[in-house]
Structure 1
Amino acid sequence: MTGASSSSASSQHGLTDRLARWAKGLSGKAEEESAEVEARPRPGSSSSREINRRRQLYEDIGDFLFAHDLDLTPINFSVALDYLTGANIGVEKAIRAVMMERGKITNGWIETIAAEQRADEVTPDSLATMLDKVEENLTQFTGLMHESRNSAKDYGAALQEQAKDLVEGGDSEPVLARLVGLTRSMVEKTRLVETQLRENQKQTKALKSSLENARRAAEHDHLTGLPNRRAFENVLREEVALAQAQGEQLSVAFCDIDHFKHVNDTHGHDTGDRVLKFVAGLLAKASNDRCHVARHGGEEFVMLFRGKGAGEACEVVDGVREDLANRSLVNRATGERMDRVSFSAGVANVLAYEDARSALKAADRALYLAKEHGRNRVYIAAETD
């Protein structure tokens, strides 16, 4: 694929090695898959179980690729691996969605989804890294300015003191007069430099303010005005730590607009965008310092509730769902009344799972169950997931 050609050589080599090991496993030689294994492991040992697990994974990947008639390429292998292991929620959700709609995926579709995932995940992080680096440099520069200004003041004061002593001594009056004049000139120059440094410091503060604005822009969805997925992931880490430290409950909910493709196809993307903003506004009404709402991507939103269990969070989400379902929306462009717009949602107790990623996957599974059982409903994930 075109986008894949820019991948690093090391990444491609790593995937090629994995493909080779997979092929070796299919041919019945997985026992010697690792060069570090010096002896054949005993049946039932941890090494044996790991080899069997990997062999099964490679076979599952092979079955997946062959079932969809996909080429044996590194990008296809990588996407299949992410889907089967659940390592990438975005890939997993996208594949499930297209399989529900079409029943099969293609090489071209995988190239598209892989490019979208890379653009969504890498670009914001690259921007954040750049902003962090610039801020670091600005902080160092500000420190240097402070240091230079203090040094200039000390130097000027010392010169003035020396000049005063020499004048009071009365020796070599013409020389001393010139020294006094030179000293005064140097003091004046020092004051000029100090003024320039103060001005530069003001400019630096203004630039830092601009960078803060840029950072906020990088963490917000331009269409809805809500925080984006990157911002949500940062908040999630912070809220997990707070909830654990304070012994509070923490719940997460995924909300996905039902039949959103039909809205776009029937009424156009401009109307679709207005529907997204309208739903975002309804969800945002529930937000506060203990309830965070973000656009997770596409027509999906995510909510995080600190201090609420899954049942309480479900009540809040269901209230918004009912509010939306009871509204009668109109296409502004045509005046045509739209079909009922609704969303489905899945809720999970974050701290009931091994980590936040597992909780997100549980909420996502509950969301898909809500979709499969008729849409326009909220399901709670079973904590045994």
Structure 2
Amino acid sequence: MTGASTSTAGSHHGLTDRLSRWARGLSGKPDEPQVESEPRARAGSAASREINRRRRLYEEIGEFLFAHDLDLTPLNFGVALDYLTGASIGVEKAVQAVLMERGKISNAWMESLAASQRADEVTPDALASMLDKVEENLDEFTGLMTESRNSAKDYGAALQEQAKGLAAGADNEPILARLVSLTRSMVEKTRQVETQLRENQKQTQALKSSLETARRAAEHDHLTGLPNRRAFEGVLREELKLAKEGDEQLSVAFCDIDHFKLVNDTHGHETGDRVLKFVAGLLAKASDDRCHVARHGGEEFVMLFRGKTAAETCEAVDAVREDLANRSLVNRTNGERMERVSFSAGVANVLAYDDPRAALKAADRALYLAKEHGRNRVYLAAEAD
């Protein structure tokens, strides 16, 4: 047993060293000297304590990654570092939540978390800048194509002119020399254009990737993971088209958490965020290719059902409402049982209105009435005449 323990300890120590070197390589910093190679650093000195602190941190990161069978990648290392040091509150909260819910973390989840953190940095200005860059690249690409065509035309015209001289029996030697010069010039020009095109293609590819990330960020709510209002508007247009083509029903529901401000005021915004995510999860269980759920803003969610009448949609939404109202939620921060959490909803038949926006307003009015008449209920909007 002693030999096995020694072997494990040695292996773990080697892993710590590798993590230390790898992490410093990521940051571009040279290897730091070990304690043994620092005879001037007395035990307990600031330098020695810092070295030991980093060693312990790298050891914790290694234990975290291997405990969850995560790949040793820069992305995973960065997320683990943010979580263990508390450098990012968002990362810390997300990791704690998934550990409580699933007990284990996957590589795919780490990638999605890192993507959502990066997405927070995508501002409307940054998106506009990227779009401008794409347009600039496309203009440059068009210019290169025009320049290439013009060069080819000029080259062809010059060759024809020199060919006339050859046909006329003129002195061939200077004409051939000019042909060689023209050919060399065209080859060099072609090489330049090819180089520019390759560089332009690389930049366009990178911009496409950035724009895709920005687009995903612009259409998803990072707290709940649901599509946001902007994404829902696009889905509504598409589903309306499919419903009309397939002669199907289409209904929409607005759901709003009751007394949500009181939840925040009583238990804090962190608990309020967890309530939002919990309600989003319950609603999302109904989501499939014929039912779409999105966070419309604040504590309000929207659901779109294709193939269900407004009455059937009321039943589906009411089942979720009843499920939530019968649950006994606990404040994870202090272990205290929370007041009952519920939501009210308003439902409308989208196809009963000339404009889908009118249907949304009708569902919103029905939601308002549900709130006025006691909350924790689902109301169906009266259809337009």
With normalisation by structure 1, the TM-score equals: 0.58
Q: Is the 8 A contact 2:141 2:197 kept in 1?
A: no
- The alpha carbon displacement at 1:333 in A equals 1.8
Q: 1:222 to 1:175 in 2, by over 3 A?
A: same
Which residue type is aligned with residue 267 of structure 1?
Answer: H
Aligned to 2:256: 256
- Give 1:312-351 correspondences, 5 Å limit: 312-351=312-351
Q: For each residue in 1:173-192, what CA deviation from the matched residue of structure 2 results, as whole angstroms up to 9, or x when unmatched?
A: 25633641453143123222
Q: 1:132 to 1:203 in 2, by over 3 A?
A: closer
- The alpha carbon displacement at 1:348 in A equals 1.0
Separation (CA, whole Å) in 2 of partners of 1:333 and 1:310? 40
Q: For each residue in 1:161-208, what CA deviation from the matched residue of structure 2 results, as whole angstroms up to 9, or x when unmatched?
A: 988998998944256336414531431232222222122123123213
CA RMSD of aligned residues (A): 3.5
Q: Which contiguous aligned blocks of 4+ residues in structure 1 show a shift greater than 6 angstroms?
A: 124-134, 153-170
Aligned to 1:194: 194
Aligned to 1:362: 362
- The alpha carbon displacement at 1:134 in A equals 6.2
Separation (CA, whole Å) in 1 of partners of 2:217 and 2:381? 33
Aligned to 2:238: 238
Aligned to 1:208: 208
Q: Is the 8 A contact 2:229 2:294 kept in 1?
A: yes
Aligned to 1:295: 295
Separation (CA, whole Å) in 1 of partners of 2:366 and 2:380? 6
Aligned to 2:180: 180
Give the match's secondary structure for 2:279.
helix
Q: Is the 8 A contact 1:290 1:306 kept in 2?
A: yes
Aligned to 1:223: 223
Q: Is the 8 A contact 1:254 1:345 kept in 2?
A: yes
- The alpha carbon displacement at 1:314 in A equals 1.7
Separation (CA, whole Å) in 2 of partners of 1:129 and 1:307? 38
Aligned to 1:105: none
Give the match's secondary structure for 1:294.
strand
Separation (CA, whole Å) in 2 of partners of 1:157 and 1:312? 72
Give the match's secondary structure for 1:224.
coil
- The alpha carbon displacement at 1:304 in A equals 1.1
Q: Is the 8 A contact 1:145 1:201 kept in 2?
A: no
Q: Is the 8 A contact 2:324 2:342 kept in 1?
A: yes
Q: 1:186 to 1:140 in 2, by over 3 A?
A: closer
- The alpha carbon displacement at 1:151 in A equals 5.4
Q: 1:139 to 1:182 in 2, by over 3 A?
A: closer
Q: Is the 8 A contact 1:149 1:194 kept in 2?
A: no
Q: 1:239 to 1:140 in 2, by over 3 A?
A: farther
- The alpha carbon displacement at 1:286 in A equals 1.8
- The alpha carbon displacement at 1:252 in A equals 0.5
Aligned to 2:45: none
Give the match's secondary structure for 1:271.
helix
For the pair 1:378 / 2:373, whether they are aligned, the reply is no
Q: Is the 8 A contact 1:346 1:381 kept in 2?
A: yes
With normalisation by structure 2, the TM-score equals: 0.58
- The alpha carbon displacement at 1:260 in A equals 0.6
Separation (CA, whole Å) in 2 of partners of 1:177 and 1:312? 85
Q: Is the 8 A contact 1:228 1:294 kept in 2?
A: yes
Separation (CA, whole Å) in 2 of partners of 1:155 and 1:285? 65
Q: Is the 8 A contact 1:252 1:363 kept in 2?
A: yes
Which residue type is aligned with residue 199 of structure 2?
Answer: E
Separation (CA, whole Å) in 1 of partners of 2:336 and 2:365? 35
Which residue type is aligned with residue 207 of structure 1?
Answer: L
Which residue type is aligned with residue 338 of structure 2?
Answer: M
Q: Is the 8 A contact 2:348 2:362 kept in 1?
A: yes
Aligned to 2:54: none
Which ranges in structure 2 are unaligned for 5 or more consecutive residues?
1-122
Relative to structure 2, which stretch is displaced further, 178-187 or 323-332?
Answer: 178-187
Give the match's secondary structure for 1:289.
coil
Give the match's secondary structure for 2:296.
strand
Aligned to 2:309: 309
Q: Is the 8 A contact 2:144 2:193 kept in 1?
A: no
Q: Is the 8 A contact 1:127 1:218 kept in 2?
A: no
Aligned to 1:34: none
Sequence identity (%): 72
Give the match's secondary structure for 1:187.
helix
Separation (CA, whole Å) in 1 of partners of 2:334 and 2:307? 44
Give the match's secondary structure for 1:296.
strand
Aligned residues: 262
Q: Is the 8 A contact 1:156 1:187 kept in 2?
A: no
